[in-house]
Every structure is written in C-alpha cells, then in structure tokens.
C-alpha cells in the first residue's frame, strides 16, 4: 500500500512566489511614499504662495490707507512695487470713509509669474489711518 504523504520533498519552486509578492509590496510602498512626498511639496508651495498673496494684500491695504489722503480723484489706478511682486490697484470711493480696491497681484518668482485679482474694502478715517 502506498503511503499518502503531505510532506513535499521538492521545494525548488517555492521561493519565487514569495519573492515576487514581497517585491510587489515593497515597490507599492515606495511608490506610495513618493506620491505622498510630491503632494506635500505641492501643498507647501501653494501655502507659501497664499502667504505671499496675503502679505501683499495687507501691505497694499496699509500703503493705500496712508496714500489716500493725497488722492484728489474719487477713482483711479495706482501701482505698488514690492520685492516679491507688483500690485495694480483700481480704487473707487464708495462713501466718505470707504474705498473699494480691485487689486491685480502679480507674484514674481524665478520659475513662474502668478497673476490673480481680488477686491477688498478699505475704511479710512479722515486722518488717513485704518480704524
């Protein structure tokens, strides 16, 4: 009678599937880590750009509130130059103390020029400061 055995003596082809599965898992993990890193770099660039835009907006608002006492016209255009960008401001007086600014912000970077527009109200007291 033949003996039924579950023990396999020839194991020469057993390691290849394990090596393939481990290799696929390692490459999948590395690809995932690289994709996460690229997303983090893009998100960091976007956050830095947003901070620069907010900084330029606040600088324009402050400079405009100081310059508004010298303006004779109730509407017009003025240009503000800063180290990291240029802002073209179209201003219009809405009432005695409120001005509406339409800002066209151009960030100057070595790799790209970014242009965007925003509107913001500025309330100025008669002495030219922001309340």
Tokens of 84: 């990291």
Could you say which of 2.40.128.50, 3.30.9.60, 2.20.25.110, 2.10.210.10 is the CATH number of the domain covering 41-123? 2.20.25.110
End-to-end alpha-carbon separation of the chain, Å?
Answer: 104
- Alpha-carbon distance of 120 to 61, in angstroms, equals 9
Contact 116, 85 (CB under 8 A): no
- Alpha-carbon distance of 10 to 3, in angstroms, equals 17
116's CB contacts (< 8 A; 6+ apart) are 53, 104, 105
State residue 129's pLDDT score. Answer: 47
State residue 118's pLDDT score. Answer: 80
- Domains of the chain: which residue ranges? 41-123
State residue 65's pLDDT score. Answer: 84
State residue 18's pLDDT score. Answer: 85
Residue-wise pLDDT tens digits, 82-106:
998 899 999 988 887 788 889 999 8
Q: Which residues of the chain have pLDDT under 50?
A: 128-131
State residue 5's pLDDT score. Answer: 57
């Amino acid at each position: 009678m033949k003996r039924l055995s579950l023990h396999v003596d020839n194991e020469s082809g057993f390691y290849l599937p394990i090596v393939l599965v481990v290799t696929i898992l390692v490459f999948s993990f590395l690809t995932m880590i690289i994709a996460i890193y690229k997303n983090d770099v893009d998100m960091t660039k976007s956050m830095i750009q947003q901070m620069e835009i907010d900084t330029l907006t606040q600088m324009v608002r402050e400079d405009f509130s100081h310059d508004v006492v010298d303006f004779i016209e109730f509407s017009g255009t003025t240009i503000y130059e800063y180290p990291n960008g240029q802002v073209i401001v179209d201003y219009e007086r809405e009432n005695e103390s409120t001005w509406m600014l339409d800002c066209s912000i151009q960030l100057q970077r070595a790799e790209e020029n970014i242009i965007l527009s925003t509107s913001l109200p500025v309330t100025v007291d008669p002495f030219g400061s922001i309340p």
